[in-house]
Amino acid sequence: MTVKNMQDSAKEVQEQTSENQVQNQAENTETSQALEIEKMRTELAEANDKYVRLYAEFDNFKRRTSKERIELLQTAGKDIVVDLLPVLDDFERALKAMENATEISAVKEGVELVQNKLKNILFQKGLKEMESKGNDFDADFHEAITNIPAPSDNLKGKVIDELEKGYYLNEKVIRFAKVVVGT
């Protein structure tokens, strides 16, 4: 073999080695890309699973809180009703007593006792009467039924008469006072 043949053979070996290296690099790149794609698919499946579980958990939470809210609203008045039952019993006894009563003052006193008992129970539950008569008219607390000429100048724009009391429940207006305003 001549030197030229040896050089040509060495060149061919080098070219083949280069081609093999390029081919190996291409195969390695494809393999690494395939591994990366598989890894991303796995991560996506895990994220999707977490999302589905979180969504289901949130949906269950919404259902549970909605059910609890409905139960709370249905039983919210239970305490007040239970506390008012003795007042109802007192009214029934008063009605029976009125059938045979000959003295009006005793009946009147009994009805006043029942009214005071009712007011005390409601006061304990947070109900408070609104004082309106003689105060300035305020649309946040009063509902003007009519206006009449004020008997004196100092009563202009003030509540002259109260037709229906207003009430607060825990410092929030639950019924506006129906009033007559002086003009």
pLDDT tens-digit profile of 115-140? 999 999 999 989 999 999 989 999 99
Other Cβ atoms within 10 Å of 74 Cβ, number: 9
Domain 128-183 has CATH 3.40.640.10: no
Cα separation, 77 vs 112, whole angstroms: 25
Cα separation, 175 vs 177, whole angstroms: 6
Q: Please tell me the pTM assigned to this model.
A: 0.57
For residue 16, give the 3-state DSSP assignment. Answer: helix
What confidence score (pLDDT) does residue 101 get? Answer: 78
Domain residue limits, the chain: 1-75, 77-125, 128-183
